[in-house]
Structure 1
Amino acid sequence: MRISVQLLSQNDFSTEAYAVGVFNGQGLENELFFLSPDLASAVSAELKRREFQGKEGESCVLPLFQNKQVKHLIFIGLGKKRLLESQSVRSFTARAIKAANGVQAGELSFDPGLMDDLEDFSAGLQAAAEGLELAAYHFSVYKKRTAKEAVKKYKVESAVFYTRDKKNTLKSQKVLEWAKVYSEAVFLGRDLVNTPSMHMHPAEMVKVAQSLAVRGSGISCKVFDKEAMAKLGMHASLAVGQGSVHEPKFVHLIYKPKISRKAKKLVLVGKAVTFDSGGLSIKPADGMIDMKIDMAGAASVLGVFKALAKIKPKAEVHGLFAAVENIPSGSAYRPGDVVAAMDGTTIEVENTDAEGRITLADALAYGTQKIKPDYMIDLATLTGAVIIALGSDITGMFCSNQDLKNKLQQASDAAGELMWELPLHAPYRELIKSKIADVKNVGGRPAGTITAALFLEKFVGQTPWAHLDIAGPSYAEKENKPELPVGGTGWGIRTLLHLIRGL
């Protein structure tokens, strides 16, 4: 899709679909400048007849059969009058492109009021372009029709944001490039999560990581097989994966800027359980259906690395994940086993279905010992408890460092990806004390999200660290937001890219 910002010329204006954002109770006189007074009055009357009021998320599409300049009008409600924030703009453009696709419009244009009312033009334009790109995503690899045929449903090929301020056109190109890069990174994350586990097992995740390390990208990739993992002492991850025919793999991606001497070091760790049956503590059938998504954390890390070669940040970024499959078999690890993580910490396994934190223990210990970063962030579909607490829209965030917490929250706000801080409540450490090992992998049902985070905390030492439990927003069971189609969401990729650009 071609996206551009153009100066409005009322004398030379035409488009197949024209999108207008309408605040609650707002008049439309200025927005419908290309219509005759009689036709503009008729449009207003029709909106009133349809009881369109401009409520947030409300939409209405009107065809203009005898108008040479515009074939369809698309009205999207923005809610109460206010300065437009990035997330509102992102959702507005996402709704608009879905409506335009619905009438098979090849070109979609936007009312200049959208650009001219933005609180922050660059941030707003990036959000607007992201809304278009993210809403147009579709995953049709496994459909009977070919991918080319599927794309025919998504008709919009060109989108134009009009403005009355020439300065906006001059600074738009770089912003639109950022939006494209961010969106393509998200698409990779979504594709990986949406791919069935039969085609996204540990060895396949390795291939994806290796494909990112191309000449000139600044990215390199190290892969450790099970023998190399054993030499490093990663017996915890090896135990989780020992029941599967797909052998565990550990991946270390490295992005180094051209000037790296004073660069901040950031480690991103992703949970990469490519399928989670629960192991011998087996899940019920309904609980396994979507368990291809249990590698969404690592998918987000890979999505970030796809973008790094293009955004070329000043920070040095490391991406780590232990790819395993948690399957029951005669060789699977058992409840009651004691396994050792890379740093020597022994873990009593009370539940083989709490496997993600066991693999993260090795990755976090590796990051702490081998890289010694300035910051470390892990992303994991770790607990069902976080969904009970925060629902499907919000990530649970734990953080040991105020500076990192501030950076994450600012990046989260810019990306429109919601997170909420939960406490690393020290007294709950008692719940994961083991009688025979250094720690046990579960602490009972109460405060399950917190005890999981406290378990991970044991492997980060003094490193400023954040844990993001993305079990809720990593996968959309239904379309709650227009920019998030059903399936993998790529949650966290845009947040982390905003953070990285600020380091």
Structure 2
Amino acid sequence: MSTPVPTLPTTLPDVEVTASPRKGVPLVVLSRTSADGPPRFGPGGDRLPEAWADLVAFTGAVGEAQAGPVDSGVRWVLGLGDGESAQWRSAGAALVRAAEATLDGATSAADRGLQVELPEDAGTDEVAEFVRGVVLGGYKFKVTAEEPKPRVRGLRLVVPDGERRAAIDAAARRSAVLAAATSFARDLANAPSNVKDPAWLAKTAAKAAGKVAGLGAEIRDERWLAANGFGGVLAVGGGSERPPRLLELSWNPKGATGPHIVLVGKGITFDTGGISIKPADGMHLMRTDMAGGGAVIAAMVAIGTLGLPVRVTGLVPCAENHVSGAAYRPGDVVRHVGGTTSEITNTDAEGRLVLADALAHAVRALHPTVLVDVATLTGAMKVALGLRTGGLFASDQALAERIQTAGEETGEAWWPMPLVCDLMPDVRSEIADLRQAPPGPGGIVAALFLREFTGGLPWAHLDIAGPARAEQAYDEVNPGGTGFATRTLVQLALSFTG
């Protein structure tokens, strides 16, 4: 019997923007540092005793969360540093973590809510960052028999001015949708692989899509994959008794103009490395090897929820790379969708095989105008860029710039990487069309391999091997799956809506 997982998606704090504070609910007072004096308090700061900051040594540094004085009507005083927009996100995450650490025994909505009167100079960017921090900062995923601990239920933002309130409300709502998508991608990545097989991943995604009007979902099984030439997916999934799937999510609203964007996400639900087996150390983290697929699934749900007027299709080839007598071998030749063949030189380079099939299928059957794939593809990217920056390869400079801008607008960092054409001879094989894992710089040759399946279309490859998982908390990120790339994909789609 399968081990159950927490109910998905994870419940997150509600966000509300109103004209006036709710009576009986203590305030969160925001504060900024001052270069030559005491911290500067925002609305509600007049409730604090004059010497309070000195008594508790409060400075207003970013993320500094201090409980307010008893009976002051101030529950928390929160530091924003100098108030740059990214610091609002860090502060929001620190606030929700501090609040949840004190909630044992709290039952009332007043005890489990956060109420903030926004200062007049808080703009939409700052509010979006703050909402993201509060909604995601307390994220937890744990399979346990214990009763769940109390969580912050809601964030109430008070903005008296009506015209400004409408703009703040729109920014807060969109930020909350993006945060929910990031959280769902984390849920999918964190789910243990004894539950999360290819069928479970596809069905869970389809169930989430079914709650969004107009978002279609179709799941193709191993028989369909065989009939349609998905040799890469079938080879990778052949070593597992849990067969592969192809998930297709489609968003095609009436009146959509502009491009047809196809997003492709690697959906390897567990990766042993196959016959080229991985070392034991760290293999348990391979439950998150479908983080690219999770980002695509969650982004598609968000695109539908926001009702973006652009056509987007998401493809997630799902497979488990396992070891058995049926596993594919180094030296095999695999035939992909469309007929291109690949010589297998390392069965632990499986992600590019399933992506190749999905990309080729997209070109042949879906007729996209823009292709983007997302994957935890190469350890080389972790070495090159560390754990907080994704690698960006693109055949089209304008698309690369769109993706970088989308990342900047949503708090995800991307670094442009070169497609070095001089390395293409290494990608060619003597016994097949292509060599799956050629020598050379791993991230670059993997991207060059994938480019062969894109039909010359504007295409970008996002390698998230580093930032897809976190070992420790920072900003709004918690240990485990991060949901990285989800917000970038949604913002990229938004950028094509005019």
Tell me whether the two structures share a fold, i.e. TM-score over 0.5.
yes
Give the drift of 1:220.
2.0
The residue number in structure 2 matching 1:64 is 69
Partner of 1:126: 128
- Structure 1 distance, partners of 2:386, 2:31, is 29
CA–CA distance in 2 between the matches of 1:111 and 1:213? 35
Maintained 8 Å contact 1:21/1:92: no
Measure, in 2, the Cα distance between the counterparts of 1:442 and 1:264. 32
2:54 to 45, 60, 79: 45
Cα 1:139–1:256 shift into 2, 3 Å: same
Among 214, 218, 222, the alignment partner of 2:218 is 222
Corresponding residue SS for 2:331: coil
Query: By how many angstroms is 1:247 displaced?
Result: 0.9
The amino acid across from 2:255 in the alignment is: I
Task: Measure, in 2, the Cα distance between the counterparts of 1:107 and 1:248.
Answer: 43
Letter in 1 for 2:96: I
Asked if 1:397 corresponds to 2:392, the answer is yes
394-403 or 168-177: which moved more?
A: 168-177
Q: Following TM superposition, by how much is the alpha carbon of 1:166 offset from its aligned partner in structure 2, in angstroms?
A: 4.2
Q: Equivalent residue for 1:463? A: 457
Distance 2:186 2:223 in 1: 31
TM-fit CA distance, 1:342: 0.8
From the superposition, tell whether residues 215 and 298 of structure 1 become closer, same or farther in structure 2 (CA, over 3 Å): closer
2:188 to 189, 192, 196: 192
1:386 corresponds to which residue? 381
Deviates more, 1:300-309 or 1:362-371: 300-309
Query: Is this contact kept in 2: 1:235–1:342, CA < 8 A?
Result: yes
- Contact 1:298–1:321, Cα closer than 8 Å, also in 2: yes
What is the deviation of 1:73?
3.4
Does the 8 Å CA contact 1:126/1:176 hold for their aligned counterparts? yes
SS in structure 1 of the partner of residue 201 of structure 2: helix
Judged with a 3 Å threshold, the aligned counterparts in structure 2 of structure 1 residues 484 and 73 are, in CA distance, closer, same or farther, namely same
Q: Given the two structures, how large is their TM-score scaled by the length of structure 2?
A: 0.89
Out of 476, 480, 494, the residue aligned to residue 470 of structure 2 is 476
C-alpha separation in 2, matches of 1:286 and 1:501: 40
Q: Distance in 2 between matches of 1:90 and 1:169?
A: 20
Answer yes or no: is 1:20 the counterpart of 2:15.
Answer: no
Q: State yes or no: 1:438 paired with 2:433.
A: yes
Quote how far apart the aligned CAs of 1:223 are: 2.3
**Is 1:208 equivalent to 2:188 in the alignment?**
no
Identity of aligned residues (%): 34
Quick check: 1:297–1:381 contact (8 Å CA) kept in 2? Answer: yes
Q: CA 1:429–1:407 in structure 2 vs 1: closer, same or farther (change >3 Å)?
A: same
Q: CA RMSD of the aligned region, Å?
A: 2.3
SS in 1 for 2:425: helix
Structure 1 gaps of 5+ residues are none
- 1 CA distance for matches of 2:40 and 2:302? 42
- 8 Å contact kept, 1:186–1:493: yes
Distance 1:447 1:21, change over 3 A: farther
Give the one of 478, 484, 489 matched to 2:482. Answer: 489
Give the structure-1-normalised TM-score. 0.89
Aligned length: 476
Give, as a single letter, the amino acid of the residue that structure 1 aligns with 2:26.
E
Q: What aligned pairs does 1:257-268 form with structure 2 within 5 A after superposition?
A: 257-260=253-256, 262-268=257-263
Q: Deviations over 1:52-75 (max 9, x none)?
A: 544444x1414412x3422x3323
Q: Secondary structure at the match of 2:456?
A: coil
3-state DSSP class of the match of 2:51?
Answer: helix
Question: Alpha-carbon deviation of 1:226?
Answer: 1.8
> In the TM superposition, what is the alpha-carbon distance from 1:17 to its structure 2 partner?
4.8
SS of alignment partner, residue 194 of structure 2:
helix
Matched, 1:73 2:71: no
Name the stretch that deviates more: 169-178 or 237-246. Answer: 169-178
Write the distance in 2 (CA, Å) between the matches of 1:310 and 1:32: 33
**1:396 positional shift:** 0.5
Tell me how far 1:414 sits from its aligned partner: 1.1
- Structure 2 runs not aligned, ≥5 long: 1-12, 104-110
Q: 1:281 aligns with which of 251, 276, 281?
A: 276
| 1:259-307 CA distance string (max 9 Å, x none) | 24x4420000000111100000001111311111111111111111222
